[in-house]
Amino acid sequence: MKITDLKCAVIGENPVVRIVTDEGIDGYGEIEAYKPYLKPFVLHLRPALLGEDPTNVERVVRKIRNRGGFKPWGSAVSAIEMALWDLAGKAAGLPVYKLLGGKVRDRVRVYNGAVRFPMSGYEPADYAANAAQMAASPEGFTIVKQPIAFHSQMKAEVPDFFYGEPESSAFHGTLNRGLLTERGLDHVVACVRAMKEALGDRVGLALDCGPGWTVPDAIRFAKAVEGLHLMWLEDLITGDYVPWVSADVYREVTRASTTPIHTGEQIYLRHNFKELIEGHAVHVIGPDPCDVGGIAELKWVAEYADLHGVLFAPHGTGNGLLGLAALVQVGATLPDNFIAFEYPVGRPDWWYDIVEGLPNPIVRDGFVDVWNRPGMGVNLVPEAARAYLSEEDRDFFD
């Protein structure tokens, strides 16, 4: 089997990769909805793939891996890697989890991720109501993650929140950073306490915090919420689109408090997790398969973290339905340091009309059952998806 073409179309907001072969089998991968501009970069990698055997996944990815980088640039390599696994599984007649060593669990825990409800405000009562609404969602999530502080509009909506001026940009993930005022820090703690009171001990609470915190504030905050049994504090120092790791800085926060500290969604390749893991700089890491270099790379990082007692909770909020399938397949194979992955959804809703193979409902009691169909187990339906292709992508399924 040989690769005859690499195609990429932006469907909705998600760039979708299609690898075509001379045996009529194809494979799909998907990039986060926030990155429609990556289509030309995906196609830039096309010459390296032509003529290769797609079932030799590692051999093919080695030819393009050094062209990726921290979020967003690793997404092109990651989507191609996932499309290769999809294709290899279909060629073998096996689900991808079988090719990754087999599953160790029959269902995979997820947390709310892309299931969000609009905030009515940024006071403690607003956060409590929103957390209760998420806990009551039909998916039955056992973990809820809530954006706060620099990862929310709190920085702009709460007066005198920090010693700085909130900045906005056309680009997702723009960094705001600074020292919190006493009032600002007390406000965050009050909101967290309100959410925990609403959730009780039946639903775990994780917090998406930044990036943007200073070390003193991060330590103060982690200590202030120690009695609340939070799942983790995510991306206090770096994260999102920050193209560095700062393991030494995270270590200061991690050693100062028993509250679990989490980071890693923007990091590309195992090499850049080395200091975080070996130095025990955080308690939890959360690479995104659409940014880290793909699902095999994610599994390698998870196993190395497990050897060092570091927990694992992968990112994935914007990865779409094909990305969801990839997370389910790799999630089934991860070691026991795995907690849960961030649940992506299809947006707009017509995505559910153009993808076949998903269960209904997808999430039951906070878990997704691992399916056994070949490849990633889901497929685009060309007849339905064509209606959502732009004019320049009309030949995507040809």
CB 57 within 8 A of CB 65: no
Q: Is the pLDDT of residue 174 over 80?
A: no
For residue 355, give its domain range: 98-376
> What does the pLDDT average to over 371-386?
98
Cα 385 to Cα 387: distance, rounded to the nearest angstrom: 5
Backbone angles phi, psi at 59, to 5 degrees: -60, -40
- Report pLDDT digits (tens) over 12-30: 999 999 999 999 999 999 9
Same domain, 86 and 175: no
Helices 182-199 & 215-224 angle (0-180, nearest 10): 40
Cα 182 to Cα 48: distance, rounded to the nearest angstrom: 54
Same domain, 364 and 385: no
Same domain, 239 and 330: yes
The answer to the question of residue 324 being in a domain is yes
**Taking the model in full, what pTM does it have?**
0.97
Q: Is residue 147 within a helix (H) or strand (E), and if so which, with residue range? A: strand 143-147
Same domain, 9 and 138: no
Q: Per-residue confidence at 169, pLDDT binned at 50, 70, 90?
A: confident
Measured torsion, CA atoms of residues 218, 219, 221, 223, in degrees rounded to the nearest 10: 160
Residue 369 CA from chain centroid, whole number: 19
Residue 288: CATH number of its domain: 3.20.20.120
Residue 21: CATH number of its domain: 3.30.390.10
Cα 183 to Cα 168: distance, rounded to the nearest angstrom: 22
Half-sphere exposure of 363 (CA within 13 A, CB side): 25
Same domain, 204 and 57: no
Beta-carbon contacts of residue 300 (< 8 Å; ≥ 6 apart)? 270
- Report pLDDT digits (tens) over 212-261: 999 999 999 999 999 999 999 999 999 999 999 999 999 999 999 999 99
What pLDDT sits at residue 168?
84
The answer to the question of residue 398 being in a domain is no
What's the mean pLDDT when you consider all of the chain? 97
Same domain, 50 and 104: no
- Report pLDDT digits (tens) over 26-36: 999 999 999 99
Q: Per-residue confidence at 392, pLDDT binned at 50, 70, 90?
A: very high
Q: Is residue 26 within a helix (H) or strand (E), and if so which, with residue range? A: strand 26-30
Same domain, 49 and 79: yes
What pLDDT sits at residue 170?
81
Same domain, 30 and 157: no
Terminal-residue alpha carbon distance, the chain: 18
Q: Per-residue confidence at 281, pLDDT binned at 50, 70, 90?
A: very high
CB 152 within 8 A of CB 218: no
What pLDDT sits at residue 167?
86
The answer to the question of residue 300 being in a domain is yes
Q: Per-residue confidence at 79, pLDDT binned at 50, 70, 90?
A: very high
The answer to the question of residue 89 being in a domain is yes
CA triple 22-28-31, angle to 5 deg: 140
Give how many domains the chain has, as a whole number: 2
Same domain, 107 and 68: no
What pLDDT sits at residue 215?
98
Same domain, 149 and 74: no
The answer to the question of residue 152 being in a domain is yes
Same domain, 83 and 135: no
Which of 71-75, 169-173, 233-237, 311-315 has the weakest average pLDDT? Answer: 169-173
Same domain, 171 and 227: yes
Burial class (CB in 10 A: 0-12, 13-18, 19+), 349: exposed
> What does the pLDDT average to over 298-316?
98
Cα 312 to Cα 303: distance, rounded to the nearest angstrom: 9
- Report pLDDT digits (tens) over 342-366: 999 999 999 999 999 999 999 999 9
User: Is the alpha carbon torsion for 382, 385, 387, 388 positive or negative?
Assistant: negative
> What does the pLDDT average to over 260-269?
98
Q: Per-residue confidence at 172, pLDDT binned at 50, 70, 90?
A: confident
